[in-house]
Structure 1
Amino acid sequence: MAVHFHEEDLPEGVLAPGPVAVDTETMGLVTPRDRLCLVQISDGQGDEHLVRFAVDSAFAAPNLKAVLADPARLKLFHFARFDLAAIEHYLGVTAAPVFCTKIASKLTRTYTDRHGLKNLVQELLGADISKAQQSSDWGASEINEAQRDYAASDVRFLHRLHEVFVTRLAREGRSELAQACFDFLPTRARLDLAGWAEQDIFSHA
């Protein structure tokens, strides 16, 4: 297992075919204001790739964009809604089709309100990840080893979680409902970007 660090784009041909786990790190939680700094991606074979974007980046990244926009590749996220918005706003591509482990958790782990990635990894995989670097400065000129390890851990377990949740969704009879939610996620992200982040447009109010 290794963590590979790249500037501005993913090298061509470094990922095996099939689903990829994806995550992002930004300067904050307001997507149009807080720039995209890092995209993490893994093919589930043991290595993680981190693509860092500079403060003056043009976000060209043709190889990364090709993978993210590939309709034949399933993209695995945890809280896809945020990452999809950041990817669409800065990279200009829709990263679909999607599987979101946070949504899958909420649809199957109804016995708890703890749906963070750390909780899922602990309960379902018996592993532990540190969230100490979650709020660190991702726009710094140097990304330190602790930040790199944290960023890599955010995609390291998503393939295994995907397998668990596919089984659990089927067990609970919620696979079709989950798929409908996943299919809607790119639109949900666009609503966020367009100004409807906090308003439920489906409510009567």
Structure 2
Amino acid sequence: MAEYTVIETRADYLAAVERIAAGTGPIAVDAERASGFRYSQRAYLIQVFRREAGTFLFDPPAVGRFDELNEAIHDDEWVLHAATQDLTCLREVGLDPSIVFDTELAARLLGMPRVGLGTVVEELLGIHLAKEHSAADWSTRPLPQPWLDYAALDVQLLPDLRDAIAALLDEAGKTDIAHQEFADELVRDLVPVRSEPWRRLSGIHSIRGVRNLAVARELWQARDALAREIDTAPGRLVPDASLTAAAKAMPESKRALAAMREFTGRASRTEIDRWWAAIETGRTTDDLPVLRGNGDTLPPPRAWSDRNPDADARLKAARTALTAVSEERSIPLENLLTPDTLRRVAWTPPAEITPESVAEALAAHGARPWQVAATSQVIAQAFVESSQSADEGSEPAS
């Protein structure tokens, strides 16, 4: 097995760009981050493979911007596995494809039960791909050679995997569907800006009372600020469960906070002044949060039967009908139509329910043309039938 070295200098990087540009066929690209270890989601290793060019492992913090490489390969097809996981960190360094082939998404559209890279490679190429380093801390320097071997193999197999999957898509009549989905990945907002990101704190729905919620918010913001400052994953400082426990308990003093067994984490005691200050702010602030977040968030479906029975009936009927379409087409239900899109159309349907009006509503919520064609008539029929069933159920007995 070849021994790989990481490209760290501009001179070596520019030489690699020339070799990649001279290669043939699509460009396989992958990126390794340090999720769970670092605050940032930046790439700490970028792997590139192209036939007749070879394999290249780049150190993004050392190289800096990749504009020259992007210019050389921008208009060629890039092959990625689960592209949405890597596009953001690639774009941060100037790598932004115009055409992608996502082998993970394509495997989903083919109805494969498991779509992890190792599983798909083994099933379609007959090669066992070990994934023991997938959750490693890729900010480590120097990177161990076994990690580099793993990273290189990830991209070396992608062009062959792409060809095998493309043939299956063609055989299943799903090539156009896949191309629509790939194009959507390139324009999708992968990093939505949340007005109140602290509301994503695990367990926050179990917190009762606006004052407790204010404490949870202040604790989350204090942890986030520290995590950003030292570039460490927030959960490694103090886990979500600890913040939630503190917000529920509302300790009366710094000593009481330190005495909480549920308040754990490597920074739970070393930064106790920071956490106590956050709790005091939450306990005294006049800026109290509302119990539910702002925005266009719909209530959870389990609450629909009480809050909007008609919408609940529409949702259940449409979901049942779409499940049949999903099975018939061998496409997962969430890929046939996103659950959020279906919920929004069920909650606020067109004034007049027809296949055409439902199609317009689906498109307005971002459904792709193939999704609209596959689901609009089925959804419209389910909505109408649910309404008729409700009307029949409300008729007085003769």
Which TM-score tier does this pair reach, normalised by the shorter chain? Answer: 0.7 to 0.9
Higher helix share: 2
How far did 1:184 drift? 0.9
Alpha-carbon distance change, 96 to 114 in structure 1, aligned in 2, over 3 angstroms = same
- Compare 92-101 and 159-168 and name the one that shifted more: 92-101
Q: Report the TM-score when normalising by structure 2.
A: 0.45
Aligned equivalent of 1:74 = 77
SS at match of 1:13: helix
Paired residues in the alignment total: 195
SS at match of 1:193: coil
Q: Report the TM-score when normalising by structure 1.
A: 0.84
**Aligned equivalent of 2:107, options 105, 108, 119:** 105
How far did 1:58 drift? 7.4
Matching of residue 62 in structure 1 with residue 201 in structure 2: no
Q: Which amino acid aligns with 1:81?
A: T
Q: What are the residue-to-residue correspondences of 1:83-102 with 2, within 5 Å?
A: 83-88=86-91, 90-102=92-104
Structure 2 gaps of 5+ residues are 195-199, 201-296, 298-337, 345-398
Q: Which amino acid aligns with 1:202?
A: T
Structure 1 gaps of 5+ residues are none
Whether the 8 Å CA contact 2:67–2:94 is kept in 1: the answer is no
Matching of residue 192 in structure 1 with residue 168 in structure 2: no
Structure number, greater radius of gyration = 2
Q: Once the two structures are superposed, what CA deviation does each residue of 1:47-100 show, in whole Å capped at 9, x if it has no partner? A: 31100123xx572233333245x11x1000000111112112x11342220000
Whether the 8 Å CA contact 1:19–1:76 is kept in 2: the answer is yes
Aligned equivalent of 1:156 = 156
Alpha-carbon distance change, 175 to 98 in structure 1, aligned in 2, over 3 angstroms = same
Aligned equivalent of 1:165 = 165
SS at match of 1:202: helix
How far did 1:136 drift? 1.1
Distance in 2 separating the partners of 1:41 and 1:96: 16
Distance in 2 separating the partners of 1:30 and 1:181: 31
Whether the 8 Å CA contact 1:21–1:44 is kept in 2: the answer is no
Aligned equivalent of 2:56 = 49
**Aligned equivalent of 1:27, options 22, 31, 34:** 34
How far did 1:30 drift? 11
Cα-Cα RMSD: 2.7
Q: Which amino acid aligns with 1:74?
A: E
Greater relative contact order: 1 or 2 (C-alpha under 8 angstroms, separation 6 or more)? 1
Q: Once the two structures are superposed, what CA deviation does each residue of 1:157-204 show, in whole Å capped at 9, x if it has no partner? A: 11111111111111100000000001111122xx121337x9966344
Higher strand share: 1
Matching of residue 39 in structure 1 with residue 39 in structure 2: no
**Percent identity between the two aligned chains:** 25
